[in-house]
Amino acid sequence: MKDYDVIIVGGGASGFFTAINIAETNSKLKILILEKGKEVLQKVKISGGGRCNVTHAEFIPNELAKNYPRGEKELRGPFHNFMTGDVMGWFENRGVELKIEDDGRVFPTSNSSQTIIDCLLTLALKLNIQIERSQIVTDFLLEENEKVSWQLKTKTTRFSAQKIVIATGSQTKIWEKLSKLGHSVTPPVPSLFTFNCNDLRIKPIPGVSVIAQVIVKSAKLKNEGPILITHWGFSGPAILKLSAWGARSLNELDYKFDLQINWTNTENFESCKALLNNKRLVYPKQQVIKNPLFKLPKRLWVQLVTAASIIENQRWADLSKKQLVALASELTLGTFFIDGKSIFKDEFVTAGGVNLKEINFKTYQSQKLPNCYLVGEVLNIDAITGGFNFQNAWTSGFLAAKSIAG
Ligand SMILES: Cc1cc2nc3c(=O)[nH]c(=O)nc-3n(C[C@H](O)[C@H](O)[C@H](O)COP(=O)(O)OP(=O)(O)OC[C@H]3O[C@@H](n4cnc5c(N)ncnc54)[C@H](O)[C@@H]3O)c2cc1C
């Protein structure tokens, strides 16, 4: 039996961040990371298209928390103690130069996730953190003699520790184990995906991007922002946000639902109709198809005008009332049938995990199991895309570490 003060199960972002911050605070503690893979930090490696989107430049804790469809309320407190600015400072103080891109995403200046991996691995080595790879933890048992301690089993070895940190990400087997030990776990469903749509209105115009309002009435979801027409349907920030906020409700609809798009973003059907009517009075001779309104891209405008049965050389004055109503409807109430989902840039995030009511968010300690901490994606916390998911890993790891190191 190998004895440790702290064993961290899972050598990902949250596991490493916890281990390093414990060791930096209390160098006397004997710390071990057990990782099931041949290599550690594999998700960091592939993250952000190989660039690792470390965090997001949102420096107001409550605003930052709004990016978490699951976890918003619980993360407000932790973010007041350790958030984006702290993470950036943490890495920069340890030699990693970071940059903020125009959309707020934060990356290493090197544009390589290897920089983050090198930083974490070098620190772990320097701080004498033991790392055992290819060790799948299959069981952990609580021993309550004079002192509480934990026994962990892998296929080949037994370990014991005073404190354990579960940092296993979205791992069904560990969730099952935690359930058996008394935690409740929300079953996982995908989050962050794009929408499949075969509608003829969008088929010819992949690549068109526009700021619009999107609504899924059957799931009570609404968002506005950039949407991108793709070869397979819809993507872009507004769609990804819908997918994250609606992870569970869209799953219940089996990813088949009507998506309503207001391409004007600001007008409603009535005000749009009035605007089109006015156009008919002011510019009667203008050809409709050649003169996009609402700053819509020409290719999209042509598709919507055609869908309203307006033919090529029709002028505003020629439009029938029916055509005008049809165009106002296409512009503000366009309905598209969504028939499935696709993975967004391989960034698959899971909604689900350990019930947040069972965690002390000051310390990330389990309220069900003594001397047991849960950090990162194992919890029922997930975010929209943009660096927020790693922020959750860093914040939870840091606060758990402070509590463990004493
Ligand atoms: C392709 C992709 C790109 C992404 N890009 C970004 C991005 O740029 N920015 C961002 O914020 N988020 C990104 N994410 C999300 C982000 O990677 C995760 O939120 C984050 O890795 C979660 O960290 P974690 O430590 O909780 O879990 P993980 O990183 O999943 O680490 C868990 C570790 O535990 C190990 N493990 C599991 N079970 C056991 C066991 N029984 N015994 C021992 N070890 C075990 C796993 O092998 C793994 O190494 C991306 C995700 C993907 C899939």
- The pLDDT, as a whole number, for residue 114 is 98
Domains of the chain, CATH where assigned: 2-189+349-405 (3.50.50.60), 193-343 (no CATH)
- Contact call for residues 201 and 334 (beta carbons, < 8 A): yes
* Single-letter amino acid code for the residue at 375: V
The answer, yes or no, to whether residue 344 has pLDDT greater than 80, is: no
| Whole-structure pTM value | 0.92
- The pLDDT, as a whole number, for residue 267 is 96
pLDDT tens, residue by residue, 52-111: 999 999 999 999 999 999 999 999 999 999 999 999 999 999 999 999 999 999 999 999
pLDDT tens, residue by residue, 165-221: 999 999 999 999 999 999 999 999 999 999 999 999 999 999 999 999 999 999 999
Pocket flag, ligand 1, residue 10 (CB < 6 Å): yes
CA-to-CA distance for 89 and 174, rounded, in angstroms?
Answer: 33
Q: Are strands 193-196 and 341-343 parallel, antiparallel or unpaired?
A: antiparallel
Whose tokens are 């050809």? That residue is 287
CA-to-CA distance for 174 and 272, rounded, in angstroms?
Answer: 53
Pocket flag, ligand 1, residue 197 (CB < 6 Å): no
Q: How confident is the model at residue 144 (pLDDT cuts 50, 70, 90)?
A: confident
CA-to-CA distance for 401 and 406, rounded, in angstroms?
Answer: 8
The answer, yes or no, to whether residue 4 has pLDDT greater than 90, is: yes
CA-to-CA distance for 162 and 8, rounded, in angstroms?
Answer: 11
| Ligand 1, atom nearest to 389 Cα | 11
pLDDT tens, residue by residue, 254-278: 999 999 999 999 999 999 999 999 9
Write the residue with the smallest CA distance to atom 10 of ligand 1.
Answer: 387
Could you tell me the distance, in angstroms and rounded to a whole number, from the CA of residue 380 to the centre of ligand 1? Answer: 14
CA-to-CA distance for 168 and 135, rounded, in angstroms?
Answer: 12
